[in-house]
Structure formats: C-alpha cells, structure tokens
C-alpha cells in the first residue's frame, strides 16, 4: 500500500469541512474521515468547531485519501477524481436533497430504491447512495422521460420501501422499461394505488420475481406490461404472455406475483462448459477444473412459453450434448417447455429419465436437427399434459427409446403436431412417419395398441 508525505494543513482543512457540514465539534483521525463524510446528511445541527491552521508534514497511506474521495463521490454522485488539496472544497460544496418527496435512489450494490420521506436515506443496510432523483407523482410518458434512464443497465434489483405508497404515485408506466439486468422487484404492494402500468416492464429480460405481500390494485391500464419478460415466473409457476396486461397482477395460477411466504417455485442450475456439454443440475456450483462458458438458473415448474429465456441461449449453437443430472430427480414437478428449441448442434441427450412429474413438454426438442435418437426410459409419462411440437422439426431423429410399459394418461393430455416433420422417425415395430400421424397420440410404443413412434428399451 503506497504512502506519501502530506501537509498537515490539508487534513485540518478536510476535518474543518466535515464539521462545517455536520455542525459538529468532533475530531477525526485520517482513517475516520471517509466514514464521517459518508455520514453527512445536510442537517448541519450545532455550531461547528474550527481547528486552527497547522503546519508540518506527515506520512499518510494513499488508501486514506482513496476512501475520502470515494465518500465524496458517494455523496455528490459525480465521477470526479480529487487531489488531497481539493477534498475540503469538494466537501464544502456538497448539497443535500431535503424535503418530503418521492425519490429513486441508485445504490452501489445495483439496487434502485424508491421511498417517500424528508431527505435522502436508504432502508438497505450498509447502503451507499450513488445518485438520487425526484419521482414525478404523475409518472412518465416514455422511458426517456425518466430521470434515471441513463442508469437503467446498472440496476439489478428494485425496492419499494414501506412509505412509498404515501407519495401518491399515479402512474408507473415505463417505470422499468428496458431494465435488462433487473432480476427482482420487492415491495410491489406499495404500488396498489397506481392506476396506469402501461409498458412498465418491457424488455426486462433478466426479471425473475416480483415480490408482494399483498396487492389490492387500482390499475385500469397495463398494456404490454410484461413484453420481453421471458424469465419472469409467478409464485405458482406462471410465465406471462407477451401481450399480458395488469390482469396478471395476482398470486394465482395465472399471476406473476410471488408472496414471500408462499413461493412454490423450485430452481435448478444450468452449466454450459467449453467442451460443449450442458449440465442441468440441482448443484449450485460448476464442476471444478472445467472451463465454464455460461451459467444461470431456471425454474423447474415454470410454464415457460417462448425461446430466449434460457441462461445459455446466446451460446445455444455451442451445446453439443446435454446431461440431465441424477440430482434433478429431487424436483417433484418439472416442465421442459422450449428447453432445447433450435439447438441444432445437439447430438446426444442423457438423463431424461431423471425428471419427475413432467407435465408440459412444448417444443422441448423442436428443430434439434442433429439428434438421431433420444432415450426417454425412466421418464414416467403419467403426469404429461401438453406435448405440442415436442419433437417438431427433428428431421434426423430416427429412434425414441422408452420403457416397455410406457403409457400416456387416458385423459387431460393434448399435443398438436408433436412429431411435426420428423421425416426419419421409425417406431419399434416399423411404423414410419406420416404427416397425418404427427399428433401426441403416436407418443406410444409402436405396436402396443396401435401405431406409434416409440421403441421399447431392450427390444
């Protein structure tokens, strides 16, 4: 750690500037000055003590001044650099946002915090406020009209404090439009009085959760609220459609909200390695010693309804084979919708039998043109509900293996064009593909009760 000689008068000036701003009489060691600057809030109570000028020099670590500079920047929201001699004037120039009003605060940890109170303050423990803006009670007519628009990509979490509803926000339209890195929203119940939420979450591609304790909404318009929110999952597994509006603001099977004490979602991890293997697992860490290309998580019981939500999606052409780990059997309910849609380089899928309670398999292997066979043995079909386009466009697929006792449910199942354009597919008893036999009814062992496209394992 570098050290340097500094004039003692510089430190006296900094301490005096701190006392001017807080109205205090305390003295500060150099190591205490950064914290004292961070604690400034504009109250300026009392009559400040002014230490007399001093002479002489001393040796001070650079980290002391780095800390003071960071504290100044945290207070003024600027990105300036400061020489030690420039720090006292910078502290004296600090001004505070006072008065009771709605504010949006950008914190150093990526949180955008909304509250309604006198002056800038945060409820987040240890928060460092980088920037702050006043929130217009009437809301905003476009994304560009928001004062925080230039900082939208810095936000990973949004929090509404429990006083925010007192501010009387009328419209939340465009509030998070284009927040591509936003993962979760907390305290959504504080927006219960808002009437408009048009395009509120458009293109929030990373958004997974909207937490709320309760929501008694007054929303009358919410067009395209969730367009582009492919990863958003409600507490019961619902994933919004692109055209969903404010009617989806509920906690039920068709709702996007999640109640903290009733979260029925289960998450697993996805690791794509440089050798082309994609591993789906309940393990939280990748395998040691392997180069990782992409990672993330998915909700096991989510009813995903489009492509692009997968954490590895931008690297889908690098996926050569898939392993569904044995620990995936720990999940009671799994939907595989669109998991491998358009993954043309996949030639092998292992471990499908490790999945339990599979209900929806919409487009799971659609357009996996490199697959020539797949093994479904061990997969219990009794819970299946939707097989729409499961193998659609798998033109090279020849064989689908399954247990000899494979049997679909007798009712409650659908599946339009399950085998759409699977021109190479042949069942175990010799049934070849025909476009007139492309529905879910042919997801059965060939010859066991009729024509089918499955082959009994071991036959």
- The pLDDT of residue 53: 72
Q: Tell me: the pLDDT tens digits for 133-172?
A: 999 999 999 999 999 999 999 999 999 999 999 999 999 9
Q: Tell me: the pLDDT tens digits for 236-282?
A: 999 999 999 999 999 999 999 999 999 999 999 999 999 999 999 99
- State the Cα–Cα distance between residues 144 and 4, nearest whole angstrom: 46
| Structure token digits, residue 327 | 């620990």
SS3 21: helix
Cα angle value 352/365/441 (rounded, 5°)? 85
- The pLDDT of residue 1: 39
Q: 143 — phi, psi (to 5°)?
A: -65, -40
| Orientation angle between helical segments 84-92 and 62-76, nearest 10 degrees | 30
Of 2-16, 41-55, 171-185, 222-236, the least confident: 41-55
Does the pLDDT value for residue 2 go beyond 60? no
| Structure token digits, residue 361 | 């398999």
On average, the pLDDT of the chain sits at 94
Name 434's Cβ contacts closer than 8 Å, sequence gap at least 6: none
% of the chain residues with pLDDT over 90: 85
Average pLDDT estimate for 86-107 = 91
- pLDDT category at 355 given cuts 50, 70, 90 is very high
Q: Tell me: the pLDDT tens digits for 55-73?
A: 777 778 889 999 999 999 9
% of the chain residues with pLDDT over 70: 99
- State the Cα–Cα distance between residues 335 and 339, nearest whole angstrom: 9
- pLDDT category at 459 given cuts 50, 70, 90 is low
- pLDDT category at 4 given cuts 50, 70, 90 is low
């Amino acid at each position: 750690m570098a050290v340097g000689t500094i004039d003692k008068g510089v430190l006296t000036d900094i301490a005096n500037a701190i006392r001017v701003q807080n109205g205090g009489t305390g003295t500060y060691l150099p190591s205490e000055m950064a914290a004292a600057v961070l604690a400034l809030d504009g109250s300026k109570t009392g009559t400040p003590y002014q230490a007399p000028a001093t002479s002489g020099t001393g040796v001070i670590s650079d980290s002391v001044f780095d800390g003071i500079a960071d504290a100044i920047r945290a207070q003024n929201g600027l990105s300036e650099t400061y020489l030690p001699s420039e720090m006292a004037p910078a502290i004296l120039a600090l001004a505070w946002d006072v008065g009771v009003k709605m504010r949006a605060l950008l914190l150093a940890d990526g949180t955008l915090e909304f509250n309604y109170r006198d002056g800038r303050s945060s409820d987040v423990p240890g928060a460092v406020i980088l920037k702050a803006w006043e929130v217009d009670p009437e809301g905003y007519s476009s994304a560009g009209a928001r004062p925080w628009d230039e900082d939208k990509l810095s936000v990973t979490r949004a929090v509404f404090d429990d006083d925010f509803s007192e501010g009387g926000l009328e419209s939340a339209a465009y509030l998070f439009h284009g927040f591509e890195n936003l993962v979760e929203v907390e305290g959504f119940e504080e927006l219960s009085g808002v009437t408009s939420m048009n395009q509120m979450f458009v293109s929030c591609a990373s958004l997974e959760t909207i937490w709320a304790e309760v929501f008694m909404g007054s929303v009358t318009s919410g067009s395209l609220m969730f367009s582009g929110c492919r990863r958003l999952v409600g507490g019961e597994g619902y994933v919004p459609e692109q055209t969903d509006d404010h009617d989806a603001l509920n906690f039920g099977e068709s709702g996007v909200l999640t109640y903290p004490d009733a979260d029925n979602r289960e998450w697993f991890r996805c690791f794509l390695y440089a050798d082309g293997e994609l591993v789906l697992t309940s393990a939280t860490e990748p395998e040691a010693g392997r180069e990782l290309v992409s990672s993330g998580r998915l909700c096991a019981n989510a009813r995903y309804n489009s492509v692009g939500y997968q954490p590895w999606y931008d690297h889908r052409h690098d996926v050569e084979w898939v392993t569904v780990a044995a620990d995936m059997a720990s999940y009671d309910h799994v939907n595989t919708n669109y998991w491998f849609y358009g993954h043309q380089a996949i030639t092998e899928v292992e471990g499908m039998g490790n999945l339990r309670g599979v209900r929806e398999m919409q487009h799971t292997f659609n357009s996996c043109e490199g697959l020539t066979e797949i093994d479904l043995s061990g997969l219990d079909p009794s819970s299946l509900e939707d097989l729409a386009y499961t193998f659609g466009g798998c033109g090279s697929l020849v064989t689908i293996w399954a247990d000899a006792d494979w049997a679909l449910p007798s009712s409650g199942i659908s599946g339009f064009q399950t085998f759409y354009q699977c021109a190479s597919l042949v069942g175990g008893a010799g049934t070849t593909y025909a476009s007139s036999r492309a529905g879910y009814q042919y997801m059965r062992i060939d010859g066991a009760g009729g024509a089918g496209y499955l082959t009994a394992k071991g036959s």
